[in-house]
Structure 1
Amino acid sequence: MKRDINKLTNQEYDLLIVGGGVYGAACAWDASIRGLSVALLERDDFGWAASSNSAKIAHSGSRYLQHADFKRMRESIRERSLIADVAPHLIDQKQPFMFPIYGHGIKGRETMTMYFAIYDLLSIDYRRKKDPARAVPNSYVISKEEVLKIMPGLNPEGLTGGVIWYEGQMHNTERLTLSRVLSASERGADVANYTEVVGFIKSGNAIVGVEAKDRVSGEIITVRAKTILNTTGAWIVKTLNLSGENSKDHNVHASKAFSFITRPLSQEHAIVISHRPIYDDEYAIINKKSNLSFAIPWRGHSLIGSLHLPCDDDPNKVTISEAEIKAYIDLINEGYPAAQLRREDILHILWGIIPADKKGSAAPLKHYEILDHLQEDGWEGVISVVGVKYTTARDVAQKAIDLVLKKLKLKSVKCSTHQIPVWGGDIEYLDEFTNQAILKESERFNSEVIRHLVRTYGSNYAKVLSYLDENPAWAEVIPNSNIIQVEVIYAIREEMAEKLVDVVLRRTDLGTLGYPGDHSVRVCGELMAKELNWNNSRLELELQEVIDSYIIRPTPEVVYQ
């Protein structure tokens, strides 16, 4: 995947996608497979915003039963299963969750047993897999004593047991987004990060292209297309307003959500913590008197989330404050006093801006929206996608590209993203593939390095290692990680990494648990500086940008560890 800005100006595309998050990536992948000529522009880096700040869960929609929303639940179950089919290296389908049950009423043992029996029934056709490692077990009820072993210190009064069910856990959501971009590029899509759309080109009532600024060179280019798909997430309305006419808000409003990465609160199980409600769920059949947070085991830590709060509709004005961080810590400690979370336990904060159900609300939008702006605003050639969940992006992209084909008056071509592996996903039996890779590379690397390479690059890990023929010294492991130096080189040459922060946070998982320390970041920075001919001033700016990307800034003790 090579960045070629000039190539973007040489043709009229069938489809220009503005926004390179998970929805833009999924749409580019789908459209390119169906034979459309595709361009994808992203103002920053691919998957840099809300797409990288998920709970790392391929969510099956178990909570949708409270709304009797069986359709949405089935969609989520199906999409979780399909991610495991097309990107097996990036997801584990067997992450157990445990929900404590109190009493015998509407949320009691009998009701929850029936609740999850329905859940199992609705997911039965997606739980079985050819590869046993990808099969999803049934849910089951456990005793009060077993619950207290998993959550010691939980209030035992009225506790009647718990229920265990399973969700898919993604090892690296940033890589899944990138893998879809890489897949689209392999199919002929022209993609570019750090390319900001600054204006629309109009012909009558039609939008026929965009003016875009290459944020690397500063050059302004023109990209023409028959259809423009706006997948800019929280920036959707701002993007529409580039037409020069203020668009109506289309009821697209913002809510912010954030999660903590902290010391582990549990070992094997993700635990459910009930706490005071932050927002009312007016669509729930059951009147809830609490909200739920999840403490999910992830890479030896707990990922706790998510807290939803109202925010300004202008994403450039949204931040996470210290008061909000403290308030969430207090909520977790009230719901599960045994957690005893302290501010210094918070290693990293993941946050993003998601669609809200109405202006000024903390409650997230329940359903995605695909807006045809010929109907909405009288503009021909523009469609917007308002996405809600990471897990179901592929399904929403399928529906969006169906509409694109219809508007282009092209012959309908069936979507096949549910069965074609993404870049690196061509693996039939994951455990067998991993063990063979470990055996093959045992003389060069320890098993943990190879597991990391397979989990990151899947069936294409050997392409990364092939660069060692040029310089065997790149086989050295970056301090405090399982990442090897050649991954930095590969990210620059083959994955369009333009900045140090791209490598630290999105091409590798070096910085996704929190700031990894000066030494590790500088090793990456010096590799990039040599490869891209950065001078010392540029290198120092890049190092500082990595630090500035964290809400929790490194203390001297962390920086120099």
Structure 2
Amino acid sequence: MSSQPGVQFLGPRQRDAAWDKLQTEQFDVVVIGGGVVGAGAALDAATRGLKVALVEARDYASGTSSRSSKMFHGGLRYLEQLEFGLVREALRERELSLTTLAPHLVKPLKFLFPITHRVWERPYMAAGIFLYDRMGGAKSVPAQKHLTRAGALRMAPGLKRNSLTGGIQYYDTVVDDARHTMTVARTAAHYGAVVRTSTQVVGFLREADRVSGVRVRDCEDGRTADVKAHVVINATGVWTDEIQALSRQRGRFRVRASKGVHIVVPRDRIVSDAAIILRTEKSVLFVIPWGSHWIIGTTDTDWNLDLAHPAATKADIDYILGHVNKVLVTSLTHDDIDGVYAGLRPLLAGESDETSKLSREHAVARVAPGLVAIAGGKYTTYRVMAEDAVDLAADDIPARMAPSITEKVPLVGADGYFALVNQTVHLGQMYGLHPYRVKHLLDRYGSLIDEVLDQASGKPELLQPITDAPAYLQVEVVYAAAAEGALHLDDILARRTRIAIEYSHRGVNCAEQVAQLVAPVLGWDADAVDREVKTYQARVEAEVQSQAQPDDLSADALRAAAPESRVELLEPPVSVSEIP
């Protein structure tokens, strides 16, 4: 029952050591961007035996990778767009993560597709889901099952009787995207990558006509350093064009940001034993079970404002409520909403004016000698995207490079997970925890569970729940700071845990308690604790106010006015002339 030996802690000590290494070592690859693709590229390169650094200006998954629909899915709707290759690839990746790479984080999820048209829709959808299953969608999960109207309503009594004529049951998967991305980055560190957040790229180094590294700035204290590398991979998602401009190289493709908004409501507001997928005039709407909540989304609209803090508007929320209420027996209101979040998808810019029709395929290009860019794609295919980026980077690496092996490399916490699930009761007795608490921990940390609980050694009070967020134990936030690279309250409340979207107070009520818990780990004095709490409160207040605004412009103005927890972060695009 021991955790994987020698798993890298991403704490303050590692952060200091990483800064020294960035300044003094010659890297084969420097990856810019701590989203799932950047973290995946760092893991891919490190497990090929390369010397790798990963730098991220904010936090792991602080952009797109923490704001998805929380599904590690094949993309059933892309079959309608005839993107068969993408769906087949995504289903293969889903199967790999579900069974081998991350079974502690990626979980099977039963879906109901309500049939609304009597004649054509059932055979049409049945053919699509049959193709989905045959492409790999039904390897570790059951194949589709057809339901009468009565059968569908037994599965989802919360649906109006007149909203469907029958249904099809099929399976997909759900994932805590932010935890998964952080775990990919931590796995990269486990295999030798130097990974560091709050480390912003502010310029590129050059030797003659080639890129030879990056200049970085510590977003906590303003220090700068030059990092030498044979090749730089730009994996910054919606920031791809900004980093491209900073490199002064002409890009090979452009990225367009599409905003997706989700709402989070208590589980008792919708009575259903399955997730629900609903067709809309533009795309689809998912109703996803999420612990004691439902996540409902998403929208799909163009976004040209602040990339770091996309804002949800009242119009976005009304759109989601309007569509889901068409089929619910008991309508949802704004008062039912515990959380709201908005994210940006990095889509490859195309001919279509509708972002919902832009490609979810990815593109990778060698922009200049020593500089590779990757963009587009979807969360599920991060491993393939990473492999493609590192493959292309090989042209600039002097040493011979081994092929990718990440399909055989489980993420930290995966090894031994299934055995530990069978020992849930015993683990609970050993640590004095209820079995449901042990299951919660196993599904977040896998076989690192004892490493988490060891933080409570001699401090039994840490095994108590957080007062105003009782789904989480106090030890979990301590571990987030000690081992998972969390530097600020926002990192902990919005990404290491999901308190920011799972409680109607959005984390404000427990901000002080959490800050006091992590202060000894992060070296915060009373002033630092006060500053963190006030900054977090201001962020939440700005988000809540923005969600009452009628349009993107007014919502963005409110959200962008909130203070940054990373006080030395420069707003892109930055230039070397701005660096003191």
Q: Report TM bin, short chain.
A: 0.7 to 0.9
Pairing 1:404-415 to 2, within 5 Å after superposition = 404-408=393-397, 410-415=399-404
SS in 2 for 1:57: coil
SS in 2 for 1:98: strand
1:405: Cα distance to partner? 2.2
TM-score (norm 2): 0.84
Q: CA separation of 1:60/1:390 partners in 2, compared to 1, >3 Å: closer, same or farther?
A: same
Residue 115 (1) aligns with residue 115 (2): no
Query: Which is worse superposed, 13-22 or 66-75?
Result: 66-75
Match of 2:340 among 349, 354, 357: 349
1:481: Cα distance to partner? 2.1
Aligned residue number for residue 425 of structure 2: 438
Aligned residue number for residue 52 of structure 1: 66
Q: Does structure 2 conserve the Cα–Cα contact (< 8 Å) formed by 1:253 and 1:313?
A: no
Q: CA separation of 1:302/1:490 partners in 2, compared to 1, >3 Å: closer, same or farther?
A: closer
Provide the C-alpha distance between the structure 1 equivalents of 2:273 and 2:163, rounded to a whole number of angstroms.
25
1:101: Cα distance to partner? 1.7
Q: Deviations over 1:58-79 (max 9, x none)?
A: 1122222223332211111111
Match of 1:365 among 358, 362, 366: 358
1:83: Cα distance to partner? 1.1
Q: Deviations over 1:421-476 (max 9, x none)?
A: 10111036x2x412414313325212222112211111111112223335333233
Provide the C-alpha distance between the structure 1 equivalents of 2:96 and 2:535, rounded to a whole number of angstroms.
36
Gaps of 5+ in 1: 129-134, 278-290, 556-561
Name the aligned partner's letter for residue 116 of structure 1. Answer: I
Q: CA separation of 1:343/1:186 partners in 2, compared to 1, >3 Å: closer, same or farther?
A: same
Q: Does structure 1 conserve the Cα–Cα contact (< 8 Å) formed by 2:112 and 2:168?
A: yes
Aligned length: 523
Q: CA separation of 1:410/1:403 partners in 2, compared to 1, >3 Å: closer, same or farther?
A: farther
Provide the C-alpha distance between the structure 1 equivalents of 2:123 and 2:219, rounded to a whole number of angstroms.
58
Provide the C-alpha distance between the structure 2 equivalents of 1:466 and 1:460, rounded to a whole number of angstroms.
10
Aligned residue number for residue 519 of structure 2: 529
Residue 203 (1) aligns with residue 207 (2): yes
Query: Which is worse superposed, 69-78 or 363-372?
Result: 363-372
Q: Does structure 2 conserve the Cα–Cα contact (< 8 Å) formed by 1:257 and 1:306?
A: yes
Q: CA separation of 1:367/1:407 partners in 2, compared to 1, >3 Å: closer, same or farther?
A: farther
Residue 401 (1) aligns with residue 390 (2): yes
Match of 2:265 among 262, 266, 269: 262
SS in 1 for 2:534: helix
Q: CA separation of 1:109/1:523 partners in 2, compared to 1, >3 Å: closer, same or farther?
A: same
Pairing 1:290-309 to 2, within 5 Å after superposition = 291-309=283-301
Q: Does structure 2 conserve the Cα–Cα contact (< 8 Å) formed by 1:212 and 1:220?
A: yes
Query: Which is worse superposed, 384-393 or 399-408?
Result: 399-408
Aligned residue number for residue 56 of structure 2: 42
Name the aligned partner's letter for residue 133 of structure 2. Answer: D
Residue 253 (1) aligns with residue 256 (2): yes
Match of 1:161 among 152, 160, 166: 166
1:318: Cα distance to partner? 4.3
Aligned residue number for residue 187 of structure 1: 191
Gaps of 5+ in 2: 1-9, 548-580
Name the aligned partner's letter for residue 438 of structure 1. Answer: V
Q: CA separation of 1:320/1:360 partners in 2, compared to 1, >3 Å: closer, same or farther?
A: farther
Q: Does structure 1 conserve the Cα–Cα contact (< 8 Å) formed by 2:310 and 2:342?
A: no
Pairing 1:538-549 to 2, within 5 Å after superposition = 538-549=528-539
Aligned residue number for residue 551 of structure 2: none
Pairing 1:404-553 to 2, within 5 Å after superposition = 404-408=393-397, 410-427=399-416, 430=418, 432-442=419-429, 444-479=432-467, 480-514=469-503, 515=505, 517-550=507-540, 551-552=543-544
Provide the C-alpha distance between the structure 2 equivalents of 1:319 and 1:454, rounded to a whole number of angstroms.
33
SS in 2 for 1:391: helix
SS in 2 for 1:59: coil
Name the aligned partner's letter for residue 261 of structure 1. Answer: V
Q: CA separation of 1:496/1:159 partners in 2, compared to 1, >3 Å: closer, same or farther?
A: closer
SS in 2 for 1:405: helix
Residue 17 (1) aligns with residue 31 (2): yes
Q: Does structure 2 conserve the Cα–Cα contact (< 8 Å) formed by 1:34 and 1:413?
A: yes
Residue 26 (1) aligns with residue 43 (2): no
